[in-house]
Amino acid sequence: MKIAIAGTRGIPNNYGGFEQCAEYLSVLLTEMGHEVIVYNSHYHPYQKAEFKGVQIVKCYNPENKIGTAGNFIYDLLCMRHAIREKADVLLMLGYTTASVFYPFLNFKKTILVTNMDGLEWKRDKWNNAVKKLAKWFEKLGAKYSPFLVADNPRIQEYLWETYQKESTCIAYGCEPFLNPDESVLKNYGVTAGNYGMLIARMEAENNIEMILDGFAASKLSCPFLVIGNLTTEYGKRLAIKFKNDSRIIFKGGIYNFNHLNNLRYFSRYYFHGHTVGGTNPSLLEAMASGAYIYAHQNGFNSSVLGSDASYFDSAAAITTLLEGSPITDQKRAAAIQNNLQKVNEIYTWPVIAGQYEALCRKVVG
């Protein structure tokens, strides 16, 4: 099959979740014997025409000049190229552009499969007008795309309940962390098993303030690392709010993946406060790193973690978790092992790629 992948800034990944997904999927699908095209923004730093057997097609992307609206032009150009190239399947990561242009493009020989992402219209960083627009795009995406992918069972249920549209549930993937190195901790002034942490974008829907309020109210003396870019207004406000609590240490963004894995691995507890989206990549990375996870109580997180985590829904609940009866070493070890087993059996990239391949074969017929 000829499979085209669009909706990202390109590969190799130097940006985010969908780019990581495109990189792993494209390489693995190529290794399975398929002809795979991935579209890159024209200014992507990788300038070669091939990446590990994957064909790279550069398309003009004016996002760096006119902002988010530029992505519509970029994605439209990618979609038109896939149709001209007579790709059997165009896998669109994200629904926004596909939802707008699908009715006006000739998709007779190319079948569109759309990954619907999370509930983007719920993000607190957007005003009401933008949220309504995002919800409208989601509605169009569900209506026009002939085949939908949901990365979480709750997203799959939502698409059916809201739009009466069936979807295929294919999660995100990750890689197990196999080589811990305690010496990495010296760079961050912490010792193994004696600190808490979180890694997140500094946005309200990730409940960072709730987590820090709960920790600040506790009597724990150990440090708490907050890792995430502080350039957002929300991030700046939190840094000011908690500046007098010497236990809470804002480290800003850390982009050394090996360091992040080691920090998760050696932490006493790792907080995951995300509430918007489906199967969150950072949650899978925490599981794959062997961290013990305190997660916000919602359907997305519980569908992935099950009973292999501790849950919170308020700052007070966090304080109680931290000051209450400590989690036994046996329970902790069992939860970590169970989550690692899920990574190896459910969320590993070869499994995910196999599920996408099966879906492509099904829709091509």
How much of the chain exceeds pLDDT 90, in percent? 76
Confidence band for 125, pLDDT divided at 50, 70 and 90: low
Topology (CATH) of 2-173+348-364: Rossmann fold (3.40.50)
Q: For residue 237, with 0-12 CB atoms within 10 Å meaning exposed, 13-18 middle and 19 or more buried, which class applies?
A: middle
Average pLDDT of the segment spanning 159-163: 94
Q: What is the CATH code for 182-345?
A: 3.40.50.2000
- Based on its alpha-carbon atoms, the radius of gyration of the chain, rounded to whole angstroms, reads 21
Least reliable range by pLDDT among 29-43, 86-100, 212-226: 86-100
**DSSP of 15-67:** S-HHHHHHHHHHHHHHHTT-EEEEEEETT-S---SEETTEEEEEE--THHHHG
**This prediction's pTM:** 0.90
Label each residue of 60-80 as H, E or C: CCCHHHHHHHHHHHHHHHHHH
The answer for residues whose C-beta is within 8 angstroms of residue 252's C-beta and 6 or more apart is: 227, 228, 229, 230
- Distance, in Å, from the CA atom of 277 to the CA atom of 358, rounded to the nearest integer, reads 24
pLDDT at 14 over 90: no
Q: For residue 293, with 0-12 CB atoms within 10 Å meaning exposed, 13-18 middle and 19 or more buried, which class applies?
A: buried
What's the pLDDT tens digit per position in 185-244?
999 999 999 999 999 989 888 999 999 999 999 999 999 999 998 988 999 999 999 999
Intervals of CATH 3.40.50.2000 along the chain: 2-173+348-364, 182-345
- 317 half-sphere exposure, CB direction, 13 A CA radius: 12
Average pLDDT of the segment spanning 322-349: 94
3-state secondary structure of 289: coil
How much of the chain exceeds pLDDT 70, in percent? 96
pLDDT at 69 over 80: no
Q: Which residue, among 174, 184, 167, 148, has the nearest Cα to 279 in the 3D structure? A: 174
How does DSSP classify residue 172?
A: -
